[in-house]
Amino acid sequence: MTKIQEFNELHSSQEILFLGNAWDLLSALTLEKVGFKAIGTTSWGIANSLGFADGELIDFDRHLGIIKTITTVTGAFLHARILG
């Protein structure tokens, strides 16, 4: 089974799927450590952690870099929200 199939299966399981929102690597690792199987990113949270008022104000490559870091370091599934 592929990772995408596994992630889709979490959505159709009898078990409720909770997505914790991460805004950086540390928050993602914390969510994973407490048992979240899947993590979502919050464009506003990422923006705010970098001093921006809105996710649309972040440079796309910088935003994508944060998301790539989270996916590389954590083992949880990730749903990324990117405004642009």
Backbone angles phi, psi at 70, to 5 degrees: -60, -45
* pLDDT at position 84: 63
* pLDDT at position 11: 87
> Is the CB of residue 76 less than 8 Å from the CB of residue 32?
yes
- List pLDDT tens digits, range 55-73: 778 888 999 999 999 999 9
pLDDT band at 53 (very low <50, low <70, confident <90, very high): confident
- List pLDDT tens digits, range 21-51: 999 999 999 999 999 999 999 888 999 999 9
> Is the CB of residue 82 less than 8 Å from the CB of residue 64?
yes
d(C-alpha 31, C-alpha 33), whole Å: 5
